[in-house]
Amino acid sequence: MKNFNHKIVWITGASSGIGEALTLAFAQEGAKLVISARRIEELERVKNKSKLPDDRILVLPLDVTDFEQAQPAVDKIIQKFGRIDLMVHNAGVSQRSYINETDFTVYKRLMDVNFFSTVALTKAVLPHMMAQKEGHFIVMSSVAGKIGTIMRSGYNASKHALHGFYDSLRAEGYQYGIGVTTVCPGYIRTNISLNALNEGGGKFGKMDQNQANGIPPETCAQTILKAVKKDKKEIYIGGLKEVAAIYLKRFLPNVLFDQVRKNIPE
């Protein structure tokens, strides 16, 4: 995909963080946008910030865990724009709790938001992309999709699951001109730790220092757009520590496992 001019891009989790940054980046590239999240007032704020006229942007409020709304949401987009060129699965929630203290409902919530919602939306979008013989999925995984760390067991599991599903979709979709870029961010300067689920399902409410010192979401967004233009299959975005950990797991897994075990969160 050489450019995004006039492409129809649907972004979930568009009301803040990386999703907001992607919205603004795609708008600058000439794309037509569909932005989804639960908070309509924040979506309207992002829309105004994009400076796109109504005929180039659709505010589509959506709780991604309401799986029955996936098809009606797609129908609204097709009705307005006639097609969907890129689907950005960015909605997600993190976790900060130990396994032995975490209620089972927290794990279900993590999988519903981070994994099953992407499957539901993909299943609704896929027939249109297959019919038009073109399309691209941008899937927001994480370094946690490669490495299991302390206090993030359910988050890690949900992100690992994305790799299995979308690696399969990449292979199956090739004959239809459908691509997949899986994005593995490390520490990005967002509120993900503040909104992370604690052991009972409430908000963790604390900013991780690594997160506060992370890469700006705008930088992350630009890196993603460049990767999609080059049809990159999987990319890692972060500081030396996070990216090095991925390669350590590949080549020196025992060293990585020892480091993860010793890295006790404060």
- E strand or H helix at 30, and its extent? none
Whole-model pTM: value is 0.95
The pLDDT value recorded for residue 25 is 98
Tell me which fold the domain 8-241 belongs to. Rossmann fold (3.40.50)
pLDDT at residue 266 tops 60:
no
Q: What is the pLDDT of residues 51-83, one digit of tens each?
A: 999 999 999 999 999 999 999 999 999 999 999
Where b means 16+ CB within 10 Å and e means fewer, 82-104 reads: eebbbbbbbbbbbbbbeeeebee
pLDDT at residue 114 tops 70:
yes
* Tokens standing for residue 179: 């691509």
DSSP 116-147: IHHHHHHHHHHHHHHHHT-EEEEEE--GGGT-
Beta bridge partners of 236: 184
**Catalytically active residues, by annotation:** 155
Distance of CA 161 to the CA centre of its chain: 13
The pLDDT value recorded for residue 265 is 66
Confidence of residue 112 (pLDDT cuts 50, 70, 90): very high
Counting residues of the chain whose pLDDT is more than 90, the rounded percentage is 89
